[in-house]
């Protein structure tokens, strides 16, 4: 039976109250497939299904859920079930879950942790929201420069069940300052009597206060299996593993994609998101864009006399608006992506502006020549000239604005995606029409 068939079978079983059959169906699925099933249900049915899972599968499934769904599930389960799940989570995963829970529930769960687990979780909680310290794992294996390879292997074995990863081992001195890193491959390749100092390499670490997305990008760009995280005195406080780094980058990509499209990210699977949450994620942006679109109406009103004298100009208003918006969106999307990859920085604003002006001019020249030829043939040379010149001006303006707006946003500390497509489209709609009508008045003498 295909996974989709299993999902449909579970949906039918839940709808008709056949819990025994649903348990049998879930038992035949892998944890990854169970995740797909749970993400398609509402809060109440999800809790019912979760209770049908075996204990071994339940923890794996819980760890794979989005933090928002974990929060929903915690509030639907009984206290003893929640306490067991919470204790079995890694400290960094606990912190992510705590951010989704009401303060009273979070405090109760923290008080129920063993002292060692509570201390590690509290340490991660102490870092600012959005920092890598909030997403790192404080559970890791370390070694010392003076230790032998044999001693190090013994230390790694003792930490096998607790350490987040053993494939990259930080090397620390007597005061826990990181002085190097060593891979498990190099440890296994060396002879037991070799010292770690003889095989370790230079470390690359990030401060715990660094932005989580920036740290994750460093981890991915450098192709590191684990990235050491340090405090202000270069003492090791945690590690960021590559899978956690990819998760952070995926969240950032989802957020940028949503905001570029004029909505807030849902932060949970679509089918498990309540309708009112979907509405809230979109309505504010729609209202803001509606207010911005009123500028276009004002421009049309200001040039009403021009339109009355040359009605044919109104036929090309959608063309001007669409071309300008699309050109600006292309530039904004390109620069936003370049910012994320650290290809450009806010100080490069003049270089980006220079490039986008040239790009806009070339695009406008190509489109303008085509527009002049087609429109000039159908409506006369004068109208064709207006369309051709306007396309040059609009494309240049749109590319320039679209290119620098994300850089300005980053400089102001605002998410560049917020300044991307929706707002740029609204701005270019209004200014593009001003350019259009001014050129029409100049060329047509109206």
Which pTM was predicted? 0.69
Domain identity same for 123 and 153: no
In this structure, the answer to whether residues 280 and 334 fall within a common structural domain is: yes
* Tokens of residue 365, six digits: 């020249």
**Nearby residues of 72 by Cβ (< 8 Å), 6 or more positions away:** 43, 46
Mean pLDDT throughout 261-281?
A: 73
Report the C-alpha gap between 419 and 424 in whole angstroms.
Answer: 7
Are the CB atoms for 90 and 138 separated by under 8 Å?
no
CB atoms within 10 A of CB 248: 21
State whether 237 and 298 are in the same domain: no
pLDDT tens for residues 120-173?
A: 888 888 898 889 999 999 999 999 999 999 999 999 999 888 888 999 999 999
- How many domains are contained in the chain? 3
Query: 203-236, pLDDT tens digit by residue?
Result: 999 999 999 989 999 998 899 999 999 998 889 9
Question: What's the CATH number where 208 sits?
Answer: 3.10.580.10
Angstrom CA distances, 392 to 205, 227, 397, stand at: 48, 48, 9
Q: Is 437 within the bounds of a domain? A: yes
Please tell me whether residues 9 and 124 are part of one structural domain: yes
Question: Which of the four pLDDT bands, split at 50, 70 and 90, describes residue 410?
Answer: confident
For tokens 């740290």, what's the residue? Answer: 215
In this prediction, residue 295 carries a pLDDT of 67
> How confident is the model over 27-52, as a mean pLDDT?
80
Residues 122 and 157 occupy one common structural domain: no
Top pLDDT among 433 and 133 is at 133
Do 11 and 115 lie in a common domain?
Answer: yes
Q: Are residues 281 and 419 in the same domain?
A: yes
Q: Which domain holds residue 96?
A: 3-128
Q: What is the DSSP letter of 128?
A: P
**Does residue 261 form part of some domain?**
no
């Amino acid at each position: 039976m295909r996974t989709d068939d299993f999902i449909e079978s579970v949906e039918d079983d839940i709808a008709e109250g056949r819990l025994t059959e649903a348990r049998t169906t879930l038992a035949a699925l892998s944890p990854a497939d169970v995740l797909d099933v749970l993400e398609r249900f509402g809060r109440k049915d999800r809790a019912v299904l979760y209770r049908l899972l075996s204990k071994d599968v339940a923890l794996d499934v819980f760890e794979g859920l989005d933090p928002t769904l974990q929060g929903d599930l915690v509030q639907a389960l009984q206290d003893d079930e929640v306490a067991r799940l919470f204790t079995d989570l890694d400290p960094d995963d606990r912190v992510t879950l705590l951010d989704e829970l009401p303060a009273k529930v979070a405090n109760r769960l923290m008080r129920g942790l063993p002292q060692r687990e509570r201390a590690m979780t509290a340490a991660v909680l102490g870092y600012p929201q959005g920092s890598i310290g909030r997403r790192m794992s404080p559970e890791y294996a370390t070694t010392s420069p003076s230790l032998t390879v044999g001693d190090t292997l013994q230390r790694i074995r003792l930490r096998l069940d607790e350490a987040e990863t053993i494939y990259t081992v930080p090397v620390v001195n007597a005061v826990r300052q990181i002085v190097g890193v060593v891979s498990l491959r190099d440890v296994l390749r060396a002879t037991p009597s070799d010292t770690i100092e003889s095989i370790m390499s230079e470390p690359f670490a990030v401060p715990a206060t660094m932005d989580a997305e920036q740290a994750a990008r460093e981890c991915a760009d450098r192709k590191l299996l684990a990235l050491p995280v340090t405090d202000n005195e270069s003492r090791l406080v945690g590690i960021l593993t590559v899978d956690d780094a990819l998760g952070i980058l995926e969240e950032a990509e989802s957020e940028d994609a949503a905001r570029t499209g004029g909505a807030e990210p849902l932060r949970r699977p679509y089918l498990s998101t309540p309708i009112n949450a979907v509405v809230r994620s979109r309505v504010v942006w729609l209202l803001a864009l509606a207010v911005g679109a009123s500028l276009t109406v004002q421009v049309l009103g200001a040039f009403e006399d021009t339109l009355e004298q040359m009605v044919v100009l109104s036929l090309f208003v959608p063309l001007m608006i669409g071309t300008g918006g699309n050109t600006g969106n292309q530039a904004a999307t390109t620069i936003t992506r370049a910012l994320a990859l650290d290809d450009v920085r806010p100080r490069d604003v003049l270089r980006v502006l220079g490039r986008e002006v040239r790009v806009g001019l070339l695009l406008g020249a190509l489109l303008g020549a085509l527009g002049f030829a087609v429109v000039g043939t159908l409506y006369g040379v004068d109208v064709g000239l207006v369309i051709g010149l306007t396309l040059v001006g609009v494309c240049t303006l749109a590319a320039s604005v679209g290119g620098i707006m994300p850089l300005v946003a980053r400089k102001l500390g605002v998410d560049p995606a917020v300044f991307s497509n929706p707002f740029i489209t609204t701005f270019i709609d209004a200014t593009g029409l001003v350019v259009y009508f001014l050129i029409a008045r100049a060329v047509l003498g109206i």
